[in-house]
Chains A and B, each alone.
Chain A
């Protein structure tokens, strides 16, 4: 090749491409081959990577935790000074669901409505988030600095007072002891509006010492309740319901049942379960007890006040029954009854030989609270209190009205309030400190018989809250400042030596500290004193007003808990409000109807309440639920109900006599979830006496005798694999709402608010239908839990246009939320009306922190979609997957517990595999009491009911 200048465009002969000649034009063949060889060799360089640098992940996960699988931790929750052991399910380091602790003697796996709903309280966005000093945000450090200065300046603390809720915690007792040691002149007052004052006074009267009775309902065949709702609000423990239900359950007509008598003014859940119910004013119960004592021969037959025959017969039959069952009977006095009644109950129990058998006694450290609070209020009024430390509670709202606590607290120079929410008391206090919720704190608590459990936190305090123990430790300069240290040291001191650590870990794991139950004591009643006390009682005339705890807010502390506010009251089915409960006759006397507002005046005080007619309520008596009408509450509870504490005085905290009622011309809308209360003769709850059952064991099937079930298409054979079914024992169900709250917590069911409940749009997947039967003035009541019946021939499945609801091969009616377009035909066609439609976006206002309460295993449904009970399909699937992973083919009965079943204190709901002949549900379905509702529609529901039996006294039948 000749050299040529590529820039010279002159074409030379012989060049094929004169323009734009190739770059290699000037290169020789040799150079080309060199370049090719080099590039071949260098081509391998593309495989070279950067130098290797190894990084290591910080694999420090939680031991035992597989992301997505929940962990369970044992803890305990105190309510009314009594703790129940719980197991809390935690997803990804936050608690989402509460269950009872099967190993705790007073839970045995059950949890009440309050326990179930408490998890929502943890995530309440209206919770107190920061220390407040005189209304301005502050910090714990500032408070610590203040406390250091303020409390160290104190000498003996004679102007220092501590006010707490009922102290139920050994560690708090220990720190308290040390604090009172530091401030010998200071005083410690315990106060809760719902307390055991009368019971204590009764024990004092009867035995001369502070003892608490522990009832053993599983050993009792005849039970008399003196105005005690021991199955629900007066229960103090779900263990009582378990025991009672155990003696209520019947396997065949050969079994026996217990018999429950009750005298009460308002219609309680226990009253609904009773075989014999005598409605009388609370103020008349002491007379009744005196008459009973006479009838039993304990008192000389004197002037018998009972003149009218029906009550005479009742009393006589009752007395005979109690005597017949001596040693197996039980008399229970309600907390609102005066001391004389409690004492008389102790006396009667002793006389019948029940002591040590159906009732045992333990020493209790409790002391009367109202008297102590009264003294404190007097001191505050006189200006003798300079520093008041309020550890939890809300005395400005719920202290007896005559003490004028919120007025006199302003006279105290320094008030320090520790609370989960900045409530009415927190607003008045100089310092408000955020309290740690029980799910976020270390602590300990005692059950009814003193058995202790350690509370362990499921999550770090969300808002830096501290416990009462820590606050007190800070104030008193305790050597340990952290709750963990305090609690741990408190208990390790009890287990010295090498095995202390192991015991600690075991107690944390089990949720129960063994051998901590208080020892039983023998107590002999002083008959003379009791007789004198009974004789001194005078019956009050006129209208009486009763105060009772709310099934939703308890004493007002749960007012901001939307789940509880929307849970319908077990008897009235009211939500979001309290009302003045009157009997139909009393309502007629006043000329009022539901929703009309009346003014109730007693002892110089007056409140206004809407009326709600309660069939079966005592005449001339009004019942008012406490815990409503709060003013410094979060946005959920604001405006819910009316404040009845305004009428409650220290002299008459339970029953006020001589009240007067005047009509106003105003009305108030009340939201109820059940508008109709009669079964209209339809065989929904089938009930018979035990006697009838024995004569006609198949009575529950009588209404279905003439049914001729014809099916056009061949039945699908459900004989393979797991087939899920449920049996609900109506004999055991008390209607306590625990299942409703458990289902709500497990399945992310929204609350809709009062207005939507009034429109009929509440979202509960399981509802408790409460029906009255008999005369309106004195009816019986029955409760029937109804959730999706998972019908084999489901009417809902054939009518869905988009096939969003279908039947699984295991017998479940499946709901595909993402396919549902929301025509609501399925809900229309469901004869049981168990389907719930999201009419609006009920999750619109849910704040970020509230979302932490959601169960991640269950979809949160959007607006426009239908939902219903799924037999907790997420739990079924979880256990099936687990069983498969573990190589087990068959699932053991009792492994899968639906949320409602697991929490039910009465063990009324049984779920399982009906293809398994050994499963409990199969056994129950084989019983002759078993029936399904609306059988004639041929829906073939998988949920069946065991007919209700009552055990009336043949003398009174």
Chain B
């Protein structure tokens, strides 16, 4: 979002080809107004099927019980909460790009922030399934977890429980992210409305764009609202995943009970979120020919963020090991040795390779700027991050204090199909977003080229 009062040197690498306002509109709105490429239809057919599978698995789960998963005693949480933390983590990239980079005045965020913020919303939607459905009685949990008046039982929730904090954190996150995203969408929806050909489209877009006229007053309100929401969202980037990490940090289980979790989880969330953005963006810019707006500079910057957060995550792994040894606590020491050499060693080493070793390739500019390389690496990072949550949750529960209760967890096909189905839901929502809404913030990109075009004439 350009500040017109301050003339800034445009970094030529951020928008290629010196487009004018009309070019931006034509390009981005054209995607929404035109026909989707065939690969979109194939993709949504696949992801739609997976989404249906998810619905079927959840129905099966609710009617039959948590026993259709592999959870047992002692591993009360397994893939369900791993998926929850995984999806919430992915959402953090969008908010960071939208809000934090905005406050830091990083111009390069403008062509990726809408995309990333949409991804956040869909990730949070996917994540939100799990806290509800992982309960044994979701038909009760759906309203007993929320602090609504409860005349029958006259009982509040237990506010000491991190799961209640989760309820507040995630619902706040979803709400604020949605508001922020929608606020940013309004001028773009107005653009689409103004270009709408059919009456139906005009009415729907007209309603959605809230009567945007583009007047100076509107712009002023818009910028103020955007700034406030960015300010609100910024602490959420840090707090939401901190709260999620408290699910573990507040417990007594060795491997969970550690103060490093808040920064560790937040760094990991940003890490996996950026990886997901890169994965999707690489495909989108190829399919929809957006290389002009999402340039190598953008991709390289995201890779650098991944490298940085990956280093933090790697450092956190090392710190955990060191502190476990340094503490002298036999249970703590055992947990970490067990992770590396116990029955789940394969999960642990997958995690370490994908999260610590492979991202180091981003030190090389050649790798950082190679689209195929970053695509593969970003996927591996997400695999690694899923395994990180799996390792934290399952290995710590599987072997804790009393060796008599040690037990192995094995996933069932329902577990696997549920995870795949959640990806289906995420991608379906994403494909719908790409179909119906401008995936690049025309407003903000135009704001970036405005300064440059100050000399180029008066094209609209």
**Least distance between B271 CB and chain A CB atoms (Å):** 25
B410 contact set on A, CB distance < 8 A: 759
Stretch at the interface among A44-52, A320-328, A404-412, A826-834: A826-834
A864 within 8 A of B: yes
Contact A821 B144 (CB under 8 A): yes
B380 within 8 A of A: no
A833-877 interface with B by 8 A CB criterion: 833, 835-841, 862-866
Contact A831 B72 (CB under 8 A): no
A831 contact set on B, CB distance < 8 A: 252-253, 400-402
Against B, the Cβ 8 Å flags (1 = close, 0 = not) of A737-774 are: 00000000000000000001001111000010111000
**Least distance between A397 CB and chain B CB atoms (Å):** 34
| Cα–Cα, bound, A862→B140 (Å) | 13
Contacting residue for B77 out of A828, A839, A865, CB 8 A: A828
Stretch at the interface among B60-68, B93-101, B274-282: B60-68
Contacting residue for A674 out of B75, B153, B404, CB 8 A: B404
B134 within 8 A of A: yes
B158 within 8 A of A: yes
Contact B76 A827 (CB under 8 A): yes
Contact A802 B66 (CB under 8 A): no
Contact B71 A839 (CB under 8 A): yes
A762 contact set on B, CB distance < 8 A: 73
| Cα–Cα, bound, A784→B77 (Å) | 27
**Least distance between B402 CB and chain A CB atoms (Å):** 6
B158 contact set on A, CB distance < 8 A: 798, 800-803
Contact B153 A937 (CB under 8 A): no
A641-694 interface with B by 8 A CB criterion: 674-682, 684
| Cα–Cα, bound, A822→B156 (Å) | 17
Contact A864 B163 (CB under 8 A): no
| Cα–Cα, bound, A802→B402 (Å) | 27
Against B, the Cβ 8 Å flags (1 = close, 0 = not) of A588-604 are: 00000000000000000
Contact B406 A676 (CB under 8 A): yes
Contact B401 A832 (CB under 8 A): yes
**Least distance between B357 CB and chain A CB atoms (Å):** 31
A761 contact set on B, CB distance < 8 A: 67, 72-73
Contact B163 A799 (CB under 8 A): yes
Taking A682-B403, A795-B251, A824-B76 as contacts, is the C-beta distance between A838 and B145 under 8 angstroms?
Answer: no
B162-177 interface with A by 8 A CB criterion: 162-164, 167
Contact B400 A833 (CB under 8 A): yes
Taking A676-B406, A934-B401 as contacts, is the C-beta distance between A800 and B161 under 8 angstroms?
Answer: yes
| Cα–Cα, bound, A770→B77 (Å) | 26
A146 within 8 A of B: no
**Least distance between A867 CB and chain B CB atoms (Å):** 11
Give B408's nearest chain A residue, CB to CB.
Answer: A675
| Cα–Cα, bound, A770→B400 (Å) | 17
B253 contact set on A, CB distance < 8 A: 828-829, 831
**Least distance between A436 CB and chain B CB atoms (Å):** 38
Contact A839 B401 (CB under 8 A): no
A937 contact set on B, CB distance < 8 A: 252, 401
B135-155 interface with A by 8 A CB criterion: 135-138, 140-141, 144-145, 153, 155
A786 within 8 A of B: yes
B379 within 8 A of A: no
A823 within 8 A of B: yes
In the complex, how many residues of chain B place their beta carbon closer than 8 angstroms to a beta carbon of chain A?
A: 55
Q: Which of A770, A801, A820, A863 has the most CB of B within 10 A?
A: A801
Q: Which of A676, A681, A822 has the most CB of B within 10 A?
A: A822
A756 contact set on B, CB distance < 8 A: 67
B241-269 interface with A by 8 A CB criterion: 247, 250-253
**Least distance between B389 CB and chain A CB atoms (Å):** 14
Give A939's nearest chain B residue, CB to CB.
Answer: B252
Contact A676 B252 (CB under 8 A): no
B221 within 8 A of A: no
| Cα–Cα, bound, A819→B76 (Å) | 18
Contact B161 A839 (CB under 8 A): no
Contact A825 B76 (CB under 8 A): yes
Contact B163 A823 (CB under 8 A): yes
Give A831's nearest chain B residue, CB to CB.
Answer: B401
In the complex, how many residues of chain A place their beta carbon closer than 8 angstroms to a beta carbon of chain B?
A: 57
**Least distance between B404 CB and chain A CB atoms (Å):** 4
Contacting residue for B65 out of A676, A827, A838, CB 8 A: A838
| Cα–Cα, bound, A523→B153 (Å) | 73
**Least distance between B345 CB and chain A CB atoms (Å):** 16
B76 contact set on A, CB distance < 8 A: 824-825, 827-828, 837
Contact B65 A840 (CB under 8 A): yes
B401 contact set on A, CB distance < 8 A: 682, 831-833, 934, 937
B421 within 8 A of A: no
**Least distance between A321 CB and chain B CB atoms (Å):** 34
Contact A840 B163 (CB under 8 A): no
Taking A674-B404, A760-B72, A839-B67 as contacts, is the C-beta distance between A801 and B330 under 8 angstroms?
Answer: no
Contact B137 A821 (CB under 8 A): yes
| Cα–Cα, bound, A838→B65 (Å) | 8
Give B141's nearest chain A residue, CB to CB.
Answer: A821
B145 contact set on A, CB distance < 8 A: 801-802, 821
Taking A822-B136, A840-B64, A841-B65 as contacts, is the C-beta distance between A801 and B161 under 8 angstroms?
Answer: yes
Q: Which of A674, A676, A784, A828 has the most CB of B within 10 A?
A: A828
A838 contact set on B, CB distance < 8 A: 65, 136
B160 within 8 A of A: yes
Contacting residue for A771 out of B138, B162, B404, B405, CB 8 A: B404
| Cα–Cα, bound, A362→B298 (Å) | 96
**Least distance between B145 CB and chain A CB atoms (Å):** 6
Give A825's nearest chain B residue, CB to CB.
Answer: B163
Give A801's nearest chain B residue, CB to CB.
Answer: B163
**Least distance between B248 CB and chain A CB atoms (Å):** 9
Taking A761-B73, A827-B76, A831-B401 as contacts, is the C-beta distance between A802 and B407 under 8 angstroms?
Answer: no
Contact B66 A837 (CB under 8 A): yes
B330 contact set on A, CB distance < 8 A: 681-682
Give B163's nearest chain A residue, CB to CB.
Answer: A801
Contact B251 A828 (CB under 8 A): yes
Give A799's nearest chain B residue, CB to CB.
Answer: B161
B20 within 8 A of A: no
Give B64's nearest chain A residue, CB to CB.
Answer: A840
Give A678's nearest chain B residue, CB to CB.
Answer: B403
B334 within 8 A of A: yes
Contact B137 A767 (CB under 8 A): no
A684 contact set on B, CB distance < 8 A: 402-403
Contact B407 A760 (CB under 8 A): yes
Contact B141 A823 (CB under 8 A): yes
| Cα–Cα, bound, A186→B187 (Å) | 106
Given contacts A676-B403, A682-B402, A801-B145, 18 further A-B contacts (CB under 8 A): A676-B406, A680-B334, A759-B70, A760-B74, A799-B162, A802-B155, A821-B135, A822-B136, A823-B134, A823-B135, A823-B141, A825-B247, A828-B251, A831-B252, A832-B402, A837-B76, A863-B137, A865-B136
Per CB-CB distance, the 3 closest pairs between chain A and chain B, nearest first, are A822-B136, A864-B136, A760-B72
| 29 sample A-B contacts, Cβ–Cβ < 8 Å, listed by A number | A682-B402, A684-B403, A760-B408, A761-B73, A771-B403, A798-B160, A799-B160, A799-B161, A801-B157, A801-B164, A802-B158, A803-B157, A819-B153, A823-B131, A823-B136, A824-B76, A828-B77, A831-B402, A833-B400, A837-B136, A838-B136, A839-B66, A839-B71, A840-B67, A840-B68, A841-B65, A863-B65, A864-B136, A937-B401
